[in-house]
Structure 1
Amino acid sequence: MKRPLGAQLSHMLRDRGVDVIFGIPGVHNQELYRGIEEAGITHILARHEQGAGFMADGYARATGTPGVAYVITGPGLCNIMTPMGQAYSDSVPMLVLSSCLDETQEYRGQLHQMKDQQAAAGTVADWSAQANTALAAYGLVERAFEEFELNRPRPKHIQVPITKLEADADPAPFPNQSALRTKAQPPDVAPVVSLLNLAKRPLFILGGGCRSNEWRQILTQLGAACFTTYAGRGMAGVNYPLDFGAMLPRPGSADVIASADLVVAVGAELGEVDLWRRELGHKATLIRVDLDPEVLSDHHRAAVKIQADSASFARVLWAVTEDAKPATGWTAEEVAEARARWRAEVDAERPGIVPVIDALRAAMPADTMIYSDMTQFAYVAKEVWDMAYPHHWHHPTGFGTLGYALPAGIGGAIGRRGKPTAVIAGDYGFHYTMQELGVAVELGLPLPIILWDNGKLKEIEDSMVRGQIAPNAVVARNPDFCKLAEAFGARSAAPSTLDALQDAVRAAFEADGPTLIYITPDIL
């Protein structure tokens, strides 16, 4: 039956598996809301469009399915552009649908008017497009979902003029069979196998693009050592004896990489925020496996390049090397010695945080999914906190935006109801999106929110001191965070010992709503 296009779009999204939409309604996009309940979709009302975008991001990371957000013309879209930029840099599938004005050139002074809304969104999205007909809107949605499956997942933006959203339209076409991604085949990995057969010290670098569970078995049967990027933590599981961990940013990792006689990087961008240096440090042959041609052609100049999804590559590699004789060039002792040395470096750079992290990790279930913010606590944890499962720690690594953790954690908790989810934030970053605490209270999410308060922008202060700049504008007056949480209707705790911290975390997972757990460096 005919319905306004806004309603038809909600039905179309439901037909493609969308069951949650994040957003804020307004007079310009209210037609999108006409069909949400009828389509059987749950809408999560954020307190700010930035929160809605981060929730969609967190939901997508938790579920592996696209996060969807509805926003209004102009300021609504501008507010969600920061999350879109984060999703772009971290390869997160997100679909943002917004309204737009019908005409902006001749008629000025309209509500929410921008000079070029579509172009603005295009600076932080994979693409931004305007649909001037119902068929165009349906086609763009279809294209977005196909690309989420086939290409490197990144955010898309579709805008529809207000009058088009209001106009009656025929239903969207029913979903076709999705296109099938090209899978790696044994001939594709033959060059890799040949080089592995000759290698005595093969080294794998596993990134966030790895989407398979076979890597521990592969590494074991090859006798290979590995590093992971921050986003790739957990790919080798816990206690794999040849796992150097997420220590690529340590300067000494370049020496280890230089000692390998074959380096294989899978699903890893190897950008600045992975290495904190420009060069990887390899001297041997470098093999790159990635979906993105831009990654394959970057300045690291891989000798062997395979464009393939990591899951099919892993399955084929596992099968064709099943009878391989493991390499013997690496020893568990050298790996353990390097990791201990680097852990001591991390502890010396930001003293006093490692023991708190160890206590926190011991109190959390192994399958906890963690969302962290831009804070020194997270910077330390990303290097020393070993993950038992892959894709269970999410951080705004690339774009590096403050305020990510709380709303993204809310989105993640919505996507994995019944499973443990936690948030780690710093005092300053929490200010950016703390209003979204109301959403977690409304939904009754058992969400521990670890708030690390060192009373300042400590990372920036330290950087200023290193640059011989007198620290300036690094201290802001904080509220009583516990009272703030209670004002929203959340629980709070302010443990003064590590044992009390662990008790508070365990209780938070059993609560019927969020708990803000306030800690300072004095906890030691």
Structure 2
Amino acid sequence: MNLLESMAIDAAKNLAPVLAQGAALHPVRATRTCGEVLVTLLENYGVDLVFGIPGVHTVELYRGLARSTLRHISPRHEQGAGFMADGYARVTGKPGVCLIITGPGMTNIATAMAQAYADSIPMLVISSVNARRQLGSGNGNLHELSSQRNIFSGITAFSHTLMCVEDLPMVLARAFAVFDSARPRPVHIEIPLDIIVAPADHLSTRISARSSKPCAAGDRIADIAQLLAGAKRPLILAGGGAVSAGRELQQLAEYLQAPTALTINAKGLLPARHPLLLGSTQSSEATRALVCEADVVLAIGTELSETDYDTVFDGGFRIPGQLIRIDIEAAQLARNYPAAKALMSDAKDALLKLMQKFSDTPAPVGGEANWGSARVASLRKELSAGLDDQARMHHRVLELIRDTLPESVFVGDSTQVVYTGNLTFDALAPRTWFNSSTGFGTLGYALPAAIGAKLGREGLPVVCLIGDGGMQFTLPELASAVEAHVPVIVLLWNNLGYGEIKKYMENRDITPIGVDIYTPDFIAIAQGFGCRAHHVSGQKELVAALRAATQVNVPTVIEISEAEWVEQDN
């Protein structure tokens, strides 16, 4: 026996008493445990996937998985589990579910939870925690935190410690009430080790009645409709909170002839090339000037926050006109910009009721003749003319991907090609363009999130847009995708370092340090993981690689070196 084997046996012996704390009191196999009933409840709530890495503190949560309908995906890092759950939730609208170990597993997933919290993404994180008698003891037990729940309370809708097995159905019902009827954000439920193995046969696995989203009050709708109908220069700002109301938003925009700007998470709510679509250009001088000209602005399902309206960080976005705000969260109605009229409501319900108010009324005729589509066309022409050569190159690559694979879902990282796409690219449908450059703004998001998105929408091509710097954050998740047969397409934009940060430093006369990082051989690494991998330098090669990627059941990494890219093939 070698030293490592001896140490492993000693570690297992030391852990055995910890895992046996509850089992000694509750013979695990005599009845269904709390962990097993949890799996059944998740099935009954319609969960079909869970993401997680088994550990000694979560194995009892896994006891019922093999007999269930749930598919388990094993990432290579808990942060990857969280990003996968995020990507799955964004394309399906259903919560992504993670099973995470105590302590380091939870601190590893924290960044993913924070990104989901910032972007209002439903995520259910179920973790273990030390046995009840050990909570807050400070005795140095395995994976112990002074208060795991308190650490995560700031990046969740709520974080709850299950102190008795009988509370399990109620806490899950509370979590799904958040997902169904409130601003969707992560929920964390931690289960002590002795509770996980507690007998739970007496628990009902019937789910509680599902909640519904808040509906718009009739009198408020009438007031808002009156203000909109009288506007000469109406304008709409729509956010991710309206992602399920694309048809209704388009109907209202066309009725009012209102130019409409979409946040990054709202891309696709108006069809690409729609004559009223301003795109996601709220930080540009031209669009800001247009917003200032509007006499009535309807902001629906949007925070009106910096990462969508002030990406140049100069504080220059203003709304001088009368602002109407519609949001599912009451507190959001009072943040960032004061409203003349505010309504707490689900976006789809509010838009439906507004159109019902207008259904018997002719479209407003008081609007200015050069407003609406005429003003949008002029603005978009101005924006296009102002793009630099690099942005034009990025945009043409994105359009080439969309033209080659028209139904693609684009999942982006914080990288230059994504920043350009946020400004210039118009998605063909909702839930097909999202990235981590908004909200929390993390690196490494795109690869695992794209894996989750592909699992949620298996019939569609999913394209991960990531830079060489961000790729090195979560590169091992390629192995997860190979293992799970997830043929995600990874477009790796290689500019040999943190290019955007380097440019940011140079623009401020700061000598660039720490941005020209070592770049590995991504093609060799990807092939070593079992992926298909290609380096392409022109449009024909890219099209061929994209088409080939749709014919295999493993990931395909397509590397583009920015310095070598040729706009037109010979």
Give the shorter-chain TM-score range: over 0.9
Deviations 1:375-414 (A, max 9, x none): 0110001111111111211112100111111101101111
Q: Is the 8 A contact 1:227 1:243 kept in 2?
A: yes
Q: Does 1:517 align with 2:551?
A: no
The amino acid that maps onto 1:90 is D
The residue number in structure 2 matching 1:288 is: 325
Q: Does 1:4 align with 2:33?
A: yes
After superposition, where does 1:215-254 map in structure 2 within 5 Å? Answer: 215-254=249-288
The CA distance in 2 between the partners of 1:199 and 1:130, in whole Å, is 51
The residue number in structure 2 matching 1:72 is: 101
Q: Give the CA RMSD over aligned residues.
A: 1.7
Cα deviation for residue 39 of structure 1 reads 2.5
The CA distance in 2 between the partners of 1:194 and 1:350, in whole Å, is 42
Cα deviation for residue 7 of structure 1 reads 1.1
Cα deviation for residue 348 of structure 1 reads 5.4
Cα deviation for residue 357 of structure 1 reads 2.6
* Match for residue 90 of structure 2 among 61, 64, 86: 61
Cα deviation for residue 331 of structure 1 reads 4.6
The amino acid that maps onto 1:190 is A
Structure 1: gaps of 5 or more residues: none
The residue number in structure 2 matching 1:194 is: 226
Q: Does 1:413 align with 2:454?
A: yes
* Match for residue 50 of structure 2 among 8, 11, 21: 21
How many pairs does the alignment contain? 523
The residue number in structure 2 matching 1:155 is: 186
Distance 1:354 1:514, change over 3 A: same
SS at match of 1:510: coil
User: Mean Cα displacement is larger for which, 351-360 or 243-252?
Assistant: 351-360
The CA distance in 2 between the partners of 1:262 and 1:484, in whole Å, is 54
The CA distance in 1 between the partners of 2:301 and 2:471, in whole Å, is 31
TM-score when normalising by structure 2: 0.89
* Match for residue 86 of structure 1 among 96, 115, 121: 115
Q: Does 1:298 align with 2:335?
A: yes
The residue number in structure 1 matching 2:144 is: 113
TM-score when normalising by structure 1: 0.96
The residue number in structure 1 matching 2:15 is: none
* Match for residue 178 of structure 1 among 196, 204, 210: 210
User: Mean Cα displacement is larger for which, 264-273 or 346-355?
Assistant: 346-355
The residue number in structure 2 matching 1:310 is: 347
The CA distance in 1 between the partners of 2:322 and 2:136, in whole Å, is 55
Q: Is the 8 A contact 2:229 2:256 kept in 1?
A: no
The residue number in structure 1 matching 2:175 is: 144
Cα deviation for residue 510 of structure 1 reads 2.6
Deviations 1:74-125 (A, max 9, x none): 0001101111001100000001011111214446222112222111122322
The CA distance in 2 between the partners of 1:288 and 1:56, in whole Å, is 30
Distance 1:100 1:347, change over 3 A: same
Q: Is the 8 A contact 1:482 1:493 kept in 2?
A: yes
Distance 1:257 1:385, change over 3 A: same
SS at match of 1:114: coil
Deviations 1:433-461 (A, max 9, x none): 11111121122222211000000101111
Q: Does 1:203 align with 2:235?
A: yes
The CA distance in 2 between the partners of 1:128 and 1:454, in whole Å, is 40
The residue number in structure 2 matching 1:47 is: 76
The amino acid that maps onto 1:192 is I
Cα deviation for residue 349 of structure 1 reads 7.2
Q: Does 1:481 align with 2:551?
A: no
The CA distance in 2 between the partners of 1:349 and 1:334, in whole Å, is 27
Distance 1:147 1:83, change over 3 A: same
The residue number in structure 2 matching 1:372 is: 412
Distance 1:346 1:9, change over 3 A: farther
* Match for residue 486 of structure 2 among 445, 465, 469: 445
Q: Is the 8 A contact 2:73 2:484 kept in 1?
A: no
Q: Does 1:436 align with 2:477?
A: yes
Q: Is the 8 A contact 2:465 2:492 kept in 1?
A: yes
The CA distance in 2 between the partners of 1:370 and 1:172, in whole Å, is 41
The CA distance in 2 between the partners of 1:308 and 1:151, in whole Å, is 10
The CA distance in 1 between the partners of 2:538 and 2:85, in whole Å, is 35
Q: Is the 8 A contact 2:410 2:434 kept in 1?
A: yes
The residue number in structure 1 matching 2:356 is: 319
SS at match of 1:523: coil
Distance 1:109 1:304, change over 3 A: same
Cα deviation for residue 364 of structure 1 reads 2.2
Q: Is the 8 A contact 1:368 1:419 kept in 2?
A: yes
The amino acid that maps onto 2:239 is G
Deviations 1:462-484 (A, max 9, x none): 11112211000001111111111
Distance 1:26 1:416, change over 3 A: same
The amino acid that maps onto 2:330 is P
Distance 1:176 1:140, change over 3 A: closer
The residue number in structure 1 matching 2:5 is: none
The CA distance in 1 between the partners of 2:418 and 2:136, in whole Å, is 46
Q: Is the 8 A contact 1:100 1:161 kept in 2?
A: yes
Distance 1:238 1:66, change over 3 A: same
Larger Rg over CA atoms: 2
Q: Is the 8 A contact 2:395 2:425 kept in 1?
A: no
The CA distance in 1 between the partners of 2:488 and 2:277, in whole Å, is 31
Q: Is the 8 A contact 1:346 1:380 kept in 2?
A: no
The amino acid that maps onto 1:79 is N
SS at match of 1:231: helix
Q: Is the 8 A contact 2:173 2:208 kept in 1?
A: no
The CA distance in 2 between the partners of 1:42 and 1:476, in whole Å, is 38
Over 6 Å off, 4+ runs: none
* Match for residue 388 of structure 1 among 428, 432, 436: 428
User: Mean Cα displacement is larger for which, 265-274 or 113-122?
Assistant: 113-122
After superposition, where does 1:158-169 map in structure 2 within 5 Å? Answer: 158-169=189-200
The CA distance in 1 between the partners of 2:200 and 2:373, in whole Å, is 64
Q: Is the 8 A contact 1:271 1:278 kept in 2?
A: no
Cα deviation for residue 293 of structure 1 reads 1.8
* Match for residue 268 of structure 1 among 302, 311, 318: 302
After superposition, where does 1:454-473 map in structure 2 within 5 Å? Answer: 454-473=495-514
The CA distance in 2 between the partners of 1:18 and 1:431, in whole Å, is 31
Distance 1:201 1:135, change over 3 A: same
User: Mean Cα displacement is larger for which, 2-11 or 15-24?
Assistant: 2-11
Q: Is the 8 A contact 1:421 1:447 kept in 2?
A: yes
Structure 2: gaps of 5 or more residues: 1-29
Q: Is the 8 A contact 1:246 1:383 kept in 2?
A: yes
Cα deviation for residue 258 of structure 1 reads 0.9
The amino acid that maps onto 1:523 is W
Q: Is the 8 A contact 2:138 2:146 kept in 1?
A: no
The amino acid that maps onto 2:230 is L
Q: Is the 8 A contact 2:526 2:533 kept in 1?
A: yes
User: Mean Cα displacement is larger for which, 415-424 or 296-305?
Assistant: 415-424
